[in-house]
Amino acid sequence: MTEELSPLKNVQKQIKNVCEKLGLEDSIYEILKEPERVLEVSIPVKMDDGTVQTFTGYRAHHSTILGPAKGGVRFHPNVTLDEVKALSAWMTFKCGVVGIPYGGGKGGVICNPKELSRNELEKLSRGYIRAIYTMIGPDKDIPAPDVYTNAQVMAWFMDEYSLLKGYNSPGVVTGKPIRLGGSLGRAAATGNGCTFVVREAAKKIGLEINNATVAVQGCGNVGGSAARGIERLGAKVVAMSDSKGGIYNPDGLDPNAVLEYKKEKGSVLGFPGSREITNEELLQLEVDILVPAALENVITGKNAADIKAKLVVEGANGPTTLEANDILVEKGIFVVPDILANAGGVTVSYFEWVQNLMNFYWTEEEINSKLENIMTKAFEEVYDMHNKFNVNMRDAAYMVSIQRVAEAIKLRGWV
């Protein structure tokens, strides 16, 4: 039944559950169950053939209690207001769990970017910023890339906002190209953060990382960086995959070679010395560590009982349904949830914003060192909450975050 709920109903259920576990007043739930504000906009775009097409866009601020709203903008045909509202709430809790001074925001435009020319995509991007201009800013709301948006789209966002303000304002968005104020280390940040979490979680469950076998689903920025990073820890990556399928070699794969092969061939399939498997088979391999770093809802009530890993670290957003999470926990599998495991991306986005505001930039080594400190500290805080209340790590992560938000609500005098 849980899996059939809308994204917003699911996140509201999670908030309610955590508020009850922490013994918080009902008023805290009432404040957190809906976004503070939501904007729906219509964006007219003159297409290359001379016609005008109007696109619908959204921007939601779930919470600005801990700081400016922070969250990506996705360009996708299936964007809905319900989804944007839910994702804005998840961003509040993702920022809260790692202790960075942001609230949660999210945006989206209903479109299929694959059907748009570069010129049309630029017009849409600039039109979206004009439409939500009054809602964003370095001290109000800082958008970032998400599904089907990238550094180029962020460059257009930043430029259009700067033109409207009358001066250069790089801190209005993160995920920008380096030349326009982007941060070193941002591309690999989510995967690197995931690597630090894998290391810390392995210690807690007594798993010797040097002898561990690992399967990574997904070869994008997150999965690719995580595979490289986990191998550097001394583990053996035996399986990797992309949207077309996966590869397996019990003797180990070289993630760098696999990613180079994918770049050249367009897929990991056919990588020399490997056996082809499906993405479903990858999830069910006899490995020590499983990192789902591709799509959401890949581990469900239907296949959770077949997961054999000792440790599951969620590199993707929402790869495990709530029903599946309960099954994994009952099986004794240690699950590190997405709001902690993949928070490296928003953490380095925070570093980018700070650098923009200071107009002083750090080296990649400094970025990675700061990221490691924050991710390690956040993991310890969640693990302590997990032990203190005898709850699973997913509930513990939300409890750490919501407790911080609740404290800020009370200090501000909202309740």
Alpha carbon 323 to its chain's center: 21
Strand ranges inside 153-231, DSSP E? 213-217
Q: Is the dihedral of CA 221, 222, 224, 228 positive or negative?
A: positive
Distance CA 344, CA 94 (A): 10
Determine contact, residues 348/342, Cβ cutoff 8 Å: no
Tell me whether residue 155 is exposed, middle or buried, using C-beta atoms within 10 angstroms of its C-beta: 0 to 12, 13 to 18, 19 or more.
buried
Sheet holding 141-145, edge to edge: 37-46, 52-63, 103-110, 69-76, 141-145
Determine contact, residues 149/96, Cβ cutoff 8 Å: no
The amino acid present at 58, given as its one-letter code, is Y
- Which listed residue (70, 85, 106, 262) is catalytic? 106
Closest CA to 88 of 346, 302, 382, 295: 346
Other C-beta atoms lying within 10 Å of the C-beta of residue 267: 16
| 106 is annotated as an active-site residue | yes
For β-strands 69-76 and 103-110, DSSP reports them as parallel
Which residues are the active-site residues?
A: 106
